[in-house]
Structure 1
Amino acid sequence: MSDENIPLKSNGTSFIPPIVLAVIAAAMISGALDFGTTARRLPLLIGSATLALIVIDFLSRFENSVGRFLRAAIGADFRDPEMQHTPRWQAEITQVSCLALVLGGIVIFGFLAAIPSFIFFYMLVQGKQSILRSALVSTGIVVLIAMLFEIILDYDLYRGVLFDSND
């Protein structure tokens, strides 16, 4: 058995994951309330959306008509999972850490700085791509995002807490 193919042991009914995520989302919302008016929008949106998804996840874990309906509707039935193995916990920690870093980068530095940095380092480290390919893709993505939102749609992207001048 390879390191990446550990047999699935959980039936998916533990209530610990949604509770832990709810605490993190609540902390994000609470912390965002100290930001300026513009700077708090993204963390509030992410925290609120996360809490809404957590409620759905939490309810889907019950063995009742609501839980069965949600599992069937969103394809979250752990009795017949799509993935027949669970990744090693180190791989899970790495993935969650990457997402936490990009989210933190967006909150602090804004989209135009965080997204290409995330893409570059993720392709380089996790995707094992060359520096040139990682740089080209991340540069292409930031140009595409900037052109679409900043120029074509005339929409100011979130600049991050450090660069936000609106209060």
Structure 2
Amino acid sequence: MSGITNWRDFGSALAVFAIAVTFLLWTQTVPARAAAMPTLVAWLTIVLALIDIVAQTETAIGRLFRRFVSAEKVVEWKAQGDEKDATWSRVFLSVLWVIGYLGGVYVVGFLLTTPLYIFLYMVLHGGKSVRAAGTMAIVTTFLVWLTFEIAFKYPLYPGILFGGY
């Protein structure tokens, strides 16, 4: 037993971590005001990559993390252990999720589209409970609002229905 659940996913998490650390180092060369958002993104990416790295291990904490951050049913481009490519319908459905989110943002803005997208994606795609999906949708949307509107005083796009540009 290697102690790692999937070497490909573990390697990907390590690569993202390395890129995020490099990005964080780069932000130190930019004036402080201009580096505020890139620094936040770098730190968030580092934290998420570390969570992913730990979740890929066969340790008690790795299994605990995996229980909270993994979907019940994962639709991937290629199923684990499956040598043939995913069907075009699966790929098309994955692309439609992103197009649907972007279309929603364009029409009704971030603050309405984000919780709906997170909720539907977690319930329909991730197999999570309605309660868990609702909680994550609310918390994530609140943190997006808090970060942009309050901390950075940067208005989020309201959508064309609500006066978007």
> Given the two structures, how large is their TM-score scaled by the length of structure 2?
0.48
> Given the two structures, how large is their TM-score scaled by the length of structure 1?
0.47
Q: Which has the higher helix share?
A: 2
